[in-house]
Structure 1
Amino acid sequence: MTLRKMGMGLLAAAAFAATAQADDNHQQDANIHYMLLVSVDGLHALDVANYVESHPNSALAELSRKGVTYTNARTPANSDSFPGLLALVTGGSPISHGFFYDVSYDRTLFDPTNTTCSGPAGNTIVFDESIDVYNSSNVSQNVIDPTKLPRGRNQNGQCVAVYPHAALKTNTIFEVVKSRGATTAWADKHPAYTPRT
């Protein structure tokens, strides 16, 4: 991943409008069938408003009319990469979800080469584009290389590769949605950004 600022422009479409309406009218949430969360690098609320005003027939304008554009969203002060994205999908901060950045430190994990999880724990964890599998032309294959992941002990005590979604210390909106029997999906520019869906 190129460490670009993720000025979190957040547009949550139709379901958020339905949710707000359901809360106002004390209706059951059974009427909500779909939710769409759009987050674009560098897209701010003012950018959305200006685009919608100048392109009233665009798909973004239609989403804005049928949904809710939440302009008062805040991310942690370090809003780049993981912290900004995780603020959207967990509602938390680096303290609660466990990621200060996509390169940080964890006292409980081991180096990727320590396949036995022996010795003292504590290692820099890297969940950026460097953990991707690359072809001979140095093009990412959009797959994580498990040999580049930090190691940790699972519930059975085995030393395993720790994927980014497994390192999260809190749940995400995806787990909440799935607990209600619904289906989730996620698309992003790097496989490390894929939450538990």
Structure 2
Amino acid sequence: MRFRSKVGAKVAATSVAALAVTAFGGVGMVASASAAVPSHGHGRSDHVLLISVDGMHQSDLNWYVANHPASTLAKLTHDGSQYTNASTSNPSDSDPGGTALMTGGNPKTTGVFYDVEYSHTVDEAGAACTPGQPATGGDVIYDSPDDALAQVPDFTNPSNGAFPSFDENGSIYPGGVDTNPAAIMNLKFDPKTSLNPATFPVDPKTCKPITPWDYLGDNTIFQVIHNAGLRTAWSDKHEVYASFNGPGSNGQSIDDLFSPEIDSQAVMPNGVPYPQDDDWAHIDAATKQYDGYKVQAVLNEINGLDHSGKTKAGTPAIFGMNFQAVSVAEKIKSTPTTLIGPDANGNYTTSAPQAGGYQWANGQLVPGPVLSSALQRSRLC
């Protein structure tokens, strides 16, 4: 489904994330919102804000609008255009879905079937290679292990293993240990140092690692806009989604890429791990906190700053973010929905776990308590 709606360049924090909705992963919903400058007239859009809600279904939207008729999403359905025959990529997940959205291509043209796939046209990462020899074939893995700083011991119980680093390339937290999650706003992407090329598949023609952006077979919307001399920005859940820069871009088509690692250990605002001791994508209360950092990045960009809110850069011509709370709420069996605190001592806790996914009500399958909370409180209201 596709929305298109014109909105003011300055909007309330509670509604900015609802300007547009896109869903990947088993859903068929695409949306865009454009901020028009009235003085130009003729429907010209100077800024386009694109927002994805991972996992949202058409039925979720219908239920939400019916139960929240005054919401921003409800207003978009009335004032915007819906394309209900749109479908997601096949196969579908965040990476092929996101790539399809950014390129307009499908896995056959982009080459991206999943974030872990096999290709007959490459050599395996780290394999011996002679330039110009036929490809031997190999795994193509563009995922969080590609981060320059990929492993951080479990804070609560190091014997449980390790998590990826929240700041991924080690630019914020010493040794990757996150004790002040709000500092993630200072994360900066560097195409030369933020990823680990040793994990990339190898081009048999040159025997050099293939960067995520050069692996794409289609160009991206960020390339088109950037090459036109306009500013671009995007916020997502993995640093390796720098692939959206597109082939031949040197990783520089997205002027402001903000991508804190969602698979890292979730910590409350005071830096203490969540009692459930898991990553940001398995505790819905934590996922909402995580999404909030990207919302703040978008708000800063709307105000003409970079994602950190510290540097004047001008509002991007195209920018946006990906939400995760709805997807987590759909998939997880039971999870807390709410972060509670701080108390007088600056401590936090979480609400009691509730059921994720869907439930039957009056003969209909509708969002359960966690999913209802995610739809209501993920800055979508």
The reply to whether TM is greater than 0.5 is: yes
Counterpart contact for 1:12–1:69, Cα < 8 Å: no
Q: 1:94 aligns with which of 97, 107, 119?
A: 107
Percent of pairs with identical residues: 37
Q: Is 1:129–2:144 an aligned residue pair?
A: yes
Q: Is 1:166–2:214 an aligned residue pair?
A: yes
Q: 1:72 aligns with which of 85, 99, 102?
A: 85
CA RMSD of aligned residues (A): 2.9
Counterpart contact for 1:150–1:162, Cα < 8 Å: yes
Counterpart for residue 202 of structure 2: 151
SS in 1 for 2:140: strand
Partner Cα separation in structure 1 for residue 26 and residue 212 of structure 2: 18
Partner Cα separation in structure 1 for residue 229 and residue 214 of structure 2: 21
Partner Cα separation in structure 2 for residue 6 and residue 65 of structure 1: 25
Superposition pairs of residues 107-122 of structure 1, within 5 angstroms: 107-114=120-127, 117-118=129-130, 120-121=134-135, 122=137
TM-superposed CA distance for 1:169, in Å, is 0.7
TM-superposed CA distance for 1:61, in Å, is 4.7
Counterpart contact for 1:128–1:192, Cα < 8 Å: yes
Name the amino acid aligned to 1:11.
A
Name the amino acid aligned to 1:32.
S
Residues 52 and 113 (structure 1 numbering): CA distance in 2 closer, same or farther, change over 3 Å? same
Partner Cα separation in structure 2 for residue 66 and residue 192 of structure 1: 35
Residues 62 and 177 (structure 1 numbering): CA distance in 2 closer, same or farther, change over 3 Å? farther
Name the amino acid aligned to 1:148.
T
Higher relative contact order (CA 8 A, sep 6+): 1
SS in 2 for 1:35: strand
Per-residue CA distance 1:45-82 (angstroms, 9 max, x = gap):
33234324433554545666665454332223311232
Q: 1:48 aligns with which of 61, 66, 86?
A: 61
TM-score normalised over the length of structure 1: 0.73
Counterpart for residue 95 of structure 2: 82
Partner Cα separation in structure 1 for residue 34 and residue 78 of structure 2: 9
Q: 1:177 aligns with which of 205, 208, 225?
A: 225
Q: 1:139 aligns with which of 148, 163, 170?
A: 163
How many residues of Structure 1 are paired with residues of Structure 2 in the alignment? 179
**Which sections of structure 2, spanning at least 5 residues, go unmatched?**
1-23, 155-161, 170-194, 246-253, 255-381
Q: Is 1:188–2:203 an aligned residue pair?
A: no
Q: Is 1:14–2:31 an aligned residue pair?
A: no
Partner Cα separation in structure 2 for residue 13 and residue 69 of structure 1: 12
Bigger fraction of residues in helix: 1
Counterpart contact for 1:10–1:45, Cα < 8 Å: no
Partner Cα separation in structure 1 for residue 237 and residue 96 of structure 2: 16
Per-residue CA distance 1:137-160 (angstroms, 9 max, x = gap):
323223433221112268xx4x33
Residues 13 and 91 (structure 1 numbering): CA distance in 2 closer, same or farther, change over 3 Å? same
Residues 181 and 64 (structure 1 numbering): CA distance in 2 closer, same or farther, change over 3 Å? farther
Structure having the higher Rg: 2
Higher mean C-alpha deviation, range 126-135 or range 36-45: 126-135
Counterpart for residue 23 of structure 1: none
Per-residue CA distance 1:157-177 (angstroms, 9 max, x = gap):
4x3322222100111111122
SS in 2 for 1:42: coil
Counterpart contact for 1:5–1:42, Cα < 8 Å: yes
Per-residue CA distance 1:88-114 (angstroms, 9 max, x = gap):
111111111111222222233222213
Partner Cα separation in structure 2 for residue 192 and residue 79 of structure 1: 18
